Amino acid sequence: MDENVAVALARRLLKDANVTAAPVDVEALALSLGFHVSRKELEEGEAGITFERRGKKHICVNQKDSLLRQRFTILHEIAHHVLKLPSKHGEKVPSNELERFTGRPPEEVLCDIFAAECLVPWELIQPLAEEKDFTLEHLAELAEQFQASRSCIASRFAQASNDHLAFVVAEDGVVKYSIVSKALKESRVWISKDIPLPRNSAAAKAFNSGISGLHEADSDGLDWSNSDDARRFACYEQAIYYAPAKQTQSILIFEELDERPVSTGYRSSRDDDDGLLDELDGYPGWSKPRY
């Protein structure tokens, strides 16, 4: 079982259930597989339980959790069933595990991938990722529309976009999860896991401040990636820090640097000018203003 199989099975489930609009009706999806969903007050730190009673399958989620969390929990439990991956957490899903990346078994991560594919279907997010800019503001709108968490939306957006984008989650100042867009991958730029956040990144500043909040920063491609090709990029970052989980989420927009041709043709056309200085626009060559 790998990621591609998990994704393919999620897409098949959506197709069979005829899902064509957001937010996805997660309970209808569960019911299509014979799961009855209920809510009740579970113990602190318990996201959900799956069990069978009198031949019927049940998923019970913690009503104290947010609606978004409940939706994700239901899909995560469905994933164990569809992917036929026995749960590593027993019948109870600990709530501090879902959508976190530190020290989780691969089976659990695959179930999260399946859940994300169901919650934010490719066919729905792909046109939106083409149309909208990758900003925290737009991600918040999409989170509302899909009834999914920001990290789930951001990952899906980066996967679906044609631009040079990445989404990075770090815990305790160390990169735990990164997803780069297809265009960035094709430019041979990647972001490694288990490395400390770049010192001048917005995420590092946010983490070091110790206070939940939003930060922004400009950096170089090489700050984020040890790939040689990263030197061709500048990077703009918006990061948000959630202190209780010591987690930062960064959205990264890579801009290919202007490679000014140093051709003699260009030079000579300027050499016979009137002796005035080049026009100054207030920006060094590569650092174009961003709109």
DSSP letter for each residue of 59-94: EEEETTS-HHHHHHHHHHHHHHHHTT---TTTTEEE
The binding track of 45-84 with respect to Zn ion, each residue x by CB under 5 A or -, is ----------------------------------------
Of 100-108, 118-126, 196-204, 226-234, the segment contacting Zn ion by CB under 5 A is: 100-108
Of 38-46, 103-111, 148-156, 212-220, the segment contacting Zn ion by CB under 5 A is: 103-111
> What does each C-alpha distance from 289 to 16, 282, 283 come to in angstroms?
47, 10, 7
CB nearer Zn ion, residue 164 or residue 176: 176
CB nearer Zn ion, residue 69 or residue 164: 69
Residues 6+ apart with CB under 8 A from 38: 58, 59, 60, 61
- Min dist. Cβ of residue 89 to Zn ion (A): 5
| Contact between 161 and Zn ion per CB under 5 A | no
CB nearer Zn ion, residue 87 or residue 187: 87
- Min dist. Cβ of residue 247 to Zn ion (A): 20
Cα–Cα–Cα angle for 40, 51, 106, nearest 5°? 100
- Min dist. Cβ of residue 111 to Zn ion (A): 5
Find the residue with minimal CB distance to Zn ion.
Answer: 87
Of 19-27, 30-38, 57-65, 105-113, the segment contacting Zn ion by CB under 5 A is: 105-113
CB nearer Zn ion, residue 99 or residue 255: 99
Helix (H, G, I), strand (E, B) or coil at 257: coil
The closest alpha carbon to 179, from 191, 170, 195, belongs to 191
- Min dist. Cβ of residue 196 to Zn ion (A): 29
How many residues at the interface with Zn ion, by CB under 5 A? 3
Helix (H, G, I), strand (E, B) or coil at 279: coil
Task: Report the C-alpha gap between 1 and 83 in whole angstroms.
Answer: 8
- Dihedral of CA atoms 238, 242, 248, 250 in degrees, nearest 10, equals -20
In one-letter notation, the amino acid at residue 194 is: D
The binding track of 108-127 with respect to Zn ion, each residue x by CB under 5 A or -, is x--x----------------
Q: Of 87, 95, 187, 238, which one interacts with Zn ion (CB under 5 A)?
A: 87
CB nearer Zn ion, residue 64 or residue 104: 104
What burial letters (b/e) apply to 266-276, b meaning 16+ CB within 10 Å? eeeeeeeeeee
Sign for the CA dihedral angle at 41, 46, 50, 54 comes to negative
Task: Report the C-alpha gap between 101 and 171 in whole angstroms.
Answer: 8
CB nearer Zn ion, residue 80 or residue 215: 80
CB nearer Zn ion, residue 54 or residue 84: 84
- Min dist. Cβ of residue 224 to Zn ion (A): 31
Helix (H, G, I), strand (E, B) or coil at 161: coil
CB nearer Zn ion, residue 90 or residue 196: 90
Interacting residues with Zn ion (CB under 5 A): 87, 108, 111
